[in-house]
């Protein structure tokens, strides 16, 4: 099947660019807890690209609610829009370096078969239109539904943006 800008794909998030990877990291809220940010007990597995990353709580009062991250950190998060409830220590969350709408993503460097969540999407990325992100799926089954933007198919653009 030929991939075109109209082709809708489902990509699974992995935590590495190479074969034998793990799933994305789920970690626990610990301090600095507010509706607009939190510090987690461990790294979320990547360095966020401000306004291109998504955070979703998987437990607690905000479970299942998604927010765009405005920070560029690994464990200290700031969100562009507040969560409705202040998280408490022990609430769990997952984060990916992708957002709904037009965004950037990296694929693995070996086969290009999954979304590489460990590598920043700030350089050497694909531009896509993300239709859905599911971080509430069980570990290893988190995914995004997306299509490549039209400019990825223009010969002069070489299909991939490198900065």
Specify the pLDDT at position 159.
53
Tell me if residue 17 falls in helix, strand or coil. coil
The alpha helices in 57-116, defined as continuous H runs, are none
Residue 1 to residue 15: CA distance in whole angstroms: 27
Q: Give how many domains the chain has, as a whole number.
A: 1
3-class secondary structure, 151: helix
Residue 25 structural domain? 9-157
Average pLDDT, rounded, for the chain: 89
On whether residue 114 sits in a domain, the answer given is yes
Average pLDDT (92-107) is 92
pLDDT-derived band at 120, boundaries 50, 70, 90:
confident
Higher pLDDT, 107 or 88: 88
Residue 1, domain member (yes or no) = no
Determine, yes or no, domain membership for 3: no
pTM for this predicted structure: 0.88
């Amino acid at each position: 099947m030929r991939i075109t800008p109209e082709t809708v794909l489902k990509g699974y998030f992995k935590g590495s660019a190479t074969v034998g990877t793990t799933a994305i990291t789920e970690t626990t809220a610990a301090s600095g807890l507010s509706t607009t940010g939190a510090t987690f007990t461990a790294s979320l597995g990547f360095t966020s690209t401000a306004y291109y990353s998504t955070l979703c709580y998987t437990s607690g009062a905000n479970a299942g609610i998604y927010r765009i991250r405005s920070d560029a950190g690994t464990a200290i998060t700031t969100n562009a829009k507040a969560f409705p409830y202040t998280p408490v220590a022990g609430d769990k969350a997952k984060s990916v370096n992708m957002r709904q709408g037009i965004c950037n993503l990296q694929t693995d460097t070996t086969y290009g078969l999954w979304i590489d969540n460990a590598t920043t999407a700030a350089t050497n990325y694909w531009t896509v239109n993300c239709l859905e992100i599911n971080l509430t799926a069980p570990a290893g089954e988190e995914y995004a539904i997306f299509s490549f933007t039209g400019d990825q198919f223009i010969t002069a653009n070489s299909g991939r943006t490198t900065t």
